[in-house]
Amino acid sequence: MTMLVPPWLEPLLNTDFFSICRTHGDAARSECNMYCLDCNDNAFCFYCRSSKHKDHQVIQIRRSSYHDVVRVSEIQKVLDISGVQTYVINSARVLFLNERPQPKSSGKASSHVCEICGRSLLDTFRFCSLGCKLVGIKRNGDASFILDAKNEVIALQRGEGISSRGGNQLREGLEHDIYPTTPPPPPSNARRRKGIPHRAPLGS
């Protein structure tokens, strides 16, 4: 199992984020929302990164609806995230670190559910979060978090469609900020409006 999961993943999933940094508590960006994959230790803030982790591999954790998320554009460089449901929040594609409570049933059964926790999914993925994929690997060993050279190149080429308009912060979002990764098709009766032709001016 150790060959299927990087050593920093479980500590990352068990880390508490968004506490106030003890060293830089009076500063504007003092929330501990960063994690160093090289040090594999506690969360730290923006200023700690500059002073202690300048040349290290660091990812930033964000928050939506009080749950921790990470941008696909960051995590896919170091982790095989295949099989994990992604969402678009504030124009950025993200995935959740850990399992979330199942929302109240709307009476309509979902055709896609997480193999581990049974949470309804938007698309044909196996897991709702990195944490559930980890459980699935431990149980069955039929998935992996390790990127091989070929998959890493493909992931970087895909880019996962991250938009730069999302800003630097994903705060407490609402559920209606979460969309499936595939946009809905346009209405079948939509027609393109023809432009109005213009005559060329007559020569003098």
Give me the pLDDT at residue 106, please: 58
Of 18, 15, 67, residue with least CA distance to 177: 67
Question: Range of 125's domain?
Answer: 6-100+107-138
DSSP-based three-state secondary structure for 194: coil
Which uninterrupted H or E stretch holds 10?
helix 9-13
- Look at residue 175 and tell me if it is in a domain: no
User: Hunting for tokens 């929040």 — which residue is that?
Assistant: 89
Tally of domains in the chain = 1
- Look at residue 56 and tell me if it is in a domain: yes
pLDDT digits (tens, 9 = 90+) for 13-42: 999 999 999 999 999 999 999 999 999 999
Cα radius of gyration (the chain): 21
- Look at residue 177 and tell me if it is in a domain: no
pLDDT tops 70 at residue 154: no
Helices (H), 31-179: 46-52, 72-75, 130-140, 149-158
Distance between CA atoms of residues 75 and 88, nearest Å = 15
- Look at residue 117 and tell me if it is in a domain: yes
pTM above 0.75, yes or no: no
- Look at residue 59 and tell me if it is in a domain: yes
- Look at residue 80 and tell me if it is in a domain: yes
pLDDT tops 80 at residue 104: no
- Look at residue 169 and tell me if it is in a domain: no
pLDDT tops 80 at residue 55: yes
Helices (H), 21-66: 46-52
- Look at residue 162 and tell me if it is in a domain: no
Distance between CA atoms of residues 136 and 83, nearest Å = 11
Q: What is the average pLDDT score of the chain?
A: 79
Distance between CA atoms of residues 20 and 87, nearest Å = 27
pLDDT digits (tens, 9 = 90+) for 166-204: 333 344 333 334 444 444 445 445 444 555 555 555 554
